[in-house]
Structure 1
Amino acid sequence: MEVHHPAGFWNRLGARIVDGLLLAIPLGLMTILIHGSFFHDGYSPVDLLGYVYAIVLPVIWYGYTVGRKLIGIRIVRMNGQNVGFGTMLLREVVGTLVYIVTLGIGLIVSAFMVGMREDKRAIHDFIAGTYVTKEPPEDQEEEAAVK
């Protein structure tokens, strides 16, 4: 299967930064309400909301999160189809577990993979069978052609 218009390291990093900033304020405020401080050591139910955002939003919004939409990139399956819940669970949860088990070395390797590979796929992309592309969804291309 062929990768079309893959998004590179800087695009992907920029989207992660935008999403991180977007989530930091509301999740931090929720943490203050629950725990009494902006930062909380240990597990908090608020931590799950970041995963809900990263898993659910791409499923219902053609592979976009707010950060990805602003940067103009989205996640798709290797066959070009939109991602589903199973795909996003593999990508986010299993990918994160791999990065934790490897003590962050996997994350560094992934950064180099995105920067150096022609298809720009990271470890979590291989786990889930996805890639990040600059191409808009077909539905949006058809709407643009009609206008």
Structure 2
Amino acid sequence: MWTGYTVGKKMVGVQIQRIDGKRISIWTMIKRHLISAFVYLTPLLIGAIILTFLNDGPLRAIMTFNEIN
């Protein structure tokens, strides 16, 4: 098993390690992926909330808006 690797990291020889140099556990990898998913999805959720609740008119694409005017 490739503990501390993704396929890309394995190809270039980079490995995730703890500060003391030991290999990370599966639980540490799961926590790392959950935290990164939260960090990356938070702006998308904020944007979805803004579009859903703060929109006053119909949603239009830029091209549609330019064709109307």
Please give the TM-score of this superposition, normalised by the length of structure 1. Answer: 0.27
Answer whether contact 2:16 2:24 (CA < 8 A) is retained: yes
CA distance in 1, matches of 2:22, 2:37: 23
Deviation beyond 2 Å, 4+ runs, structure 1: none
Higher relative contact order, structure no. (Cα contacts within 8 Å, ≥ 6 residues apart): 1
Which residue of structure 1 lines up, in the alignment, with residue 23 of structure 2?
A: 82
CA distance in 2, matches of 1:67, 1:99: 19
Question: Secondary structure at 1:97's aligned position in 2?
Answer: helix
Match of 2:32 among 77, 82, 91: 91
How many angstroms does 1:78 deviate by? Answer: 1.7
CA distance in 2, matches of 1:100, 1:78: 27
Instruction: Output one character per residue of 1:111-136: Cα deviation in whole Å (capped at 9) or x when no partner.
Output: xxxxxxxxxxxxxxxxxxxxxxxxxx
- Output the amino acid matched with 1:72: G
Q: How many residues align?
A: 44
How many angstroms does 1:91 deviate by? Answer: 0.8
1:71 pairs with 2:12 = yes
How many angstroms does 1:62 deviate by? Answer: 4.1
CA distance in 2, matches of 1:93, 1:69: 21
Rg larger for? 2
Listed as ranges, the gaps of 5+ residues in structure 2 are: 45-69
Please give the TM-score of this superposition, normalised by the length of structure 2. Answer: 0.51
CA-atom RMSD in angstroms: 1.8
Alignment of 1:12-31 (within 5 A): none
Q: Percent identity?
A: 36
CA distance in 2, matches of 1:91, 1:61: 15
